[in-house]
Amino acid sequence: MNIVNFTPIPSLIGGILIGVSACLLLLFNGRIAGISGITKGIFKKNSGSDKLWRSLFILGLILGGYMSHLFGLEIGNSKSVLHLDTKLIIGAVLVGVGTSYGNGCTSGHGICGMSRGSKRSIFATIIFMISAIITVYLTRGLA
């Protein structure tokens, strides 16, 4: 193992901002900042006001990415990194099915759920981390 490309300070600051964001959403709106759950809810037969707060959160998320890009604060993005091929679509489908069936992703289980001390979320986070690490180990070197 070699340690490369380590960016401790920006990553820590970014993480703190994500934590503050999750706290604001819980404190003001009583909601869990789980991106897969928020997104899924936009397409459910919920009330208009429910769809609205979810859509505004996602709009903010995209604007936030754009703003840090404008101010030169971003460490990399997905532009020209990904290629539209079968692997990309399979990956996207697995992320979609897995987070929907498991009721959460890195944010909902990994941050909010773990912070609440939810056993389900701690369990889920350990499993998706191990699964992702094994996947990278097995596919490393494959183009």
Partner 1 sequence: MNNFMSLISGLLFGIGLSISGMMSPKKVIGFLDITGQWDPSLALVMGGALFISIIAFKFILTKSSPICENQFHVPSNTKLDKAIIIGPIIFGIGWGLIGLCPGPALANLYTLDFATLSFVIAMVTSMVLTDKILSKS
Is the separation of the CB atoms in 30 and 98 below 8 Å?
no
Asked if 26 interacts with partner 1 (CB under 8 A), we say yes
3-state SS, residue 43: coil
In the region spanning residues 5 to 24, those forming contacts with partner 1, defined by CB under 8 A, are 5-8, 10-24
Considering only residues 103 to 142 of the shown chain, the ones binding partner 1 according to CB under 8 A are 103, 105-107, 109-116, 118-120, 123-125, 127-137, 139-140
CA 42/CA 39 separation, integer angstroms: 6
Hey, which residues between 48 and 107 contact partner 1 (CB under 8 A)? 52-54, 56-69, 73-84, 87-103, 105-107
Q: Angle 139-14-30 (CA atoms, 0-180°, nearest 5)?
A: 105
Assess 46 for contact with partner 1 (CB under 8 A): no
